[in-house]
Amino acid sequence: MKTVQLLSQLFIPAFILGVIFYGAVRKVRVYDSFVTGAKEGVRVVVKIFPYLLAIFVAIKSFQASGAFDFAKEAVRVMLGAFDIPLEAISMALIKPLSGSASLGLFTDIVKTTGPDSLASRLSAVIMGSAETTFYVLAVYLGAVGIKKTRYLVPVCLVSDAVGISLAILIVKLLS
């Protein structure tokens, strides 16, 4: 694990140094290239902003109106027979919606239930294995201005549900 951590830390500096060095050796005006590329980057982020705003408004109002609490309660009742801690259900529902909220919730679960509890382990695996799907969709689709997404969104949502269920199942089997 130390090796992987070291590789992760070295990856970016080594890559950036390598690129600049290679460019300089090839007599590219690296500074001018960098600035030209960065300008393009600014344009892309400006293009993404409205998509991000739209998705954040939907998610935040969903949470603030009490609709999210209702969904959580509904899932808890439906899964009553499986003996899954409520904390893990909250985690499973919040992770696809918001990265910062899920990190906050995870820290809170670890603090209140202890770092080696079933709730903490379930939340940890959900935290590590699920992605903030709505954010990824808004940013990646917004970056290229795709409007017709065909069957992508349903596939992503079903895969999220399956992935999180698998995470819960795996932790329960291994615990």
Among positions 7-36, residues that touch other proteins (CB under 8 A) are: 7-8, 11-12, 16, 19-20, 22-23, 26, 28, 30, 33-36
Binders of other proteins in range 82-111 (CB under 8 A) = 103, 106-107, 110-111
- Counting residues that bind other proteins (by CB under 8 A) gives 92
**Nearer CB in complex with other proteins: 20/79:** 20
Query: Where do we find the tokens 């499986």?
Result: 82
In the complex, the smallest distance separating the C-beta of residue 80 from other proteins, rounded to whole angstroms, is 23
Among 14, 74, 78, 162, binds other proteins (CB under 8 A): 162
